Amino acid sequence: IAGLGVSKNGPNQTSDSEEAADAANPAETSLLMKIIRQGLVESKLDIEVQRKNPSSPLYSVKTFEALHLKPNLLKGVYAMGFNAPSKIQETALPTLLADPPQNMIAQSQSGTGKTAAFVLAMLSRIDPTKNYPQVLCLSPTYELAIQTGEVAAKMAKFCPEIKLKYAVRGEELPKGTKITDHILIGTPGKLLDWGIKFCMFDLSKIKVFVLDEADVMIDRQGHQDQCIRIHKCLPSTCQMMFFSATYDSALMEFAEIIVPNPIIIRLLREEESLDNIKQYYVKCKSPEDKYKAICNIYGVITIGQAIIFCHTRKTASWLSEKMSKDGHSVAVLSGELTVDQRIAVLDRFRAGLEKVLITTNVLSRGIDVEQVTLVVNFDMPMDLDKKADCETYLHRIGRTGRFGKAGIAINLIDSNQAMEICLDIEAHFGKKIKLLDIEDAEEIE
């Protein structure tokens, strides 16, 4: 695989003011979760399959051997440490590799093995004796394209004849270039330029078209139209693969334009629940008072690790300064950090180097740290209308079956508005949030 000199800049930093609440950016969140992931996310739930064309057979495999891959590709898969297909791969791979090719729409949460599945399919469809692009893979951002390319490079470790090129910003080709690489991975704009504007490759010769992170894609201005323009130039025989972590009607409308007669597979995520969580609220008069509440809690219970959610970066940094001065080892994760910095913070926290992680909303979902026993809402989660944001509350506090250990959640309430949010959340989930008398905090142990 062509080793492109790709620089590893993080995505553009946001310039939000410190006062503003940190909103999660889907492309960044997705990238971060990919990078910090430590292996597969598996689900106990069953896979759901929908066939538009009932005559197409459906298989599922339990081993990679059963897929009859080229030997060097199978070697690459094993070299990555994959012993058996993940749940989504069991069902997706036979379809993706079938002859005649079949179209697929697949949805499952991040970390369940989608990328590995379509990369394997892409690689196995290449005819390396033909020196022109045969596979197009569209990603929503530069960074996500590079991540996918790196998976392809690893998997094709023993297939040096397969060539890959990134079609991303910074990659410039002289006019009149004819691209000879087999796989192009890139963003829609660049692929549109190379394929349609400058005719550097022939879209009518593409055999496989992959749309990765489709939900992030349609979130980005203009990307959807660019995808559709590229898609229009593809031959009707081209195999279409469409992957997404979420599933809603806007996305499915887009999917139906891109993918005719698909097999649709979905792996539902295991729902987070509040079942094993003891929830409390503490009445406070001021931010200082909230800080005292945290200190009292620390005085009373033995805490493994804790995550504290604040609404703004300013609060987060104020709190971290105070806690550090008091001798707590504290890490801060907020929106002004680059992706690389966030990874470093999370790695240290995971390793237990800091006991407390103070964060804004940048990553309410995805911080699956098993050792965390306490979650504090320094500020209650609210939406743009300043109403209770129950979904975010669940992501912050809830645990999935996998991390089913008991936990404690404490909400610090310093206004009527915060109290109202707390009551709304309590009503929404039908789970009691008890008043905690901080002087008498023994009861929480």
Report the interface residues with ligand ADP, using CB under 6 A. Answer: 34, 37, 39-40, 82, 85-86, 89, 110-116
Distance of closest approach, residue 83 Cβ to ligand ADP, in angstroms:
6
Q: Which is nearer to ligand ADP, 144 or 436 (CB)?
A: 144
Nearer CB in complex with ligand ADP: 86/239: 86
Nearer to ligand ADP, 223 or 269 (CB): 269
Is the peptide bond prior to 100 cis by the omega test (within 30 degrees of 0)? yes
Q: How far is the CB of 338 from ligand ADP (least distance, A)?
A: 21
Shortest Cβ 223–ligand ADP spacing (Å): 19
- Taking each helix axis as running N to C, give the angle between helix 26-36 and helix 142-155, from 0 to 180 degrees, rounded to the nearest 10: 30
CB nearer ligand ADP, residue 93 or residue 323: 93
The residue with its CB nearest to ligand ADP is 115
Question: Which residue number, 370 or 443, has a Cβ lying nearer to ligand ADP?
Answer: 370
Question: Cβ of residue 376: shortest distance to ligand ADP, in angstroms?
Answer: 29
**What are 139's two structure tokens?**
């990603």
The CB-of-239 to ligand ADP minimum distance in angstroms stands at 18
Q: Cβ of residue 29: shortest distance to ligand ADP, in angstroms?
A: 12
Residue owning tokens 């910090």: 36
- Closer of 244 and 392 to ligand ADP (Cβ): 244
Q: Which of 35, 173 has the CB closer to ligand ADP?
A: 35
Minimum CB distance to ligand ADP, residue 285 (Å): 45
Say how far apart CA 231 and CA 397 lie, in whole Å.
42
Closer Cβ to ligand ADP, 64 or 309, answer by number: 64
Q: Which is nearer to ligand ADP, 215 or 379 (CB)?
A: 215
CB of 267 to ligand ADP, least distance (A): 9
Smallest separation (angstroms) from ligand ADP to the CB of 39: 5
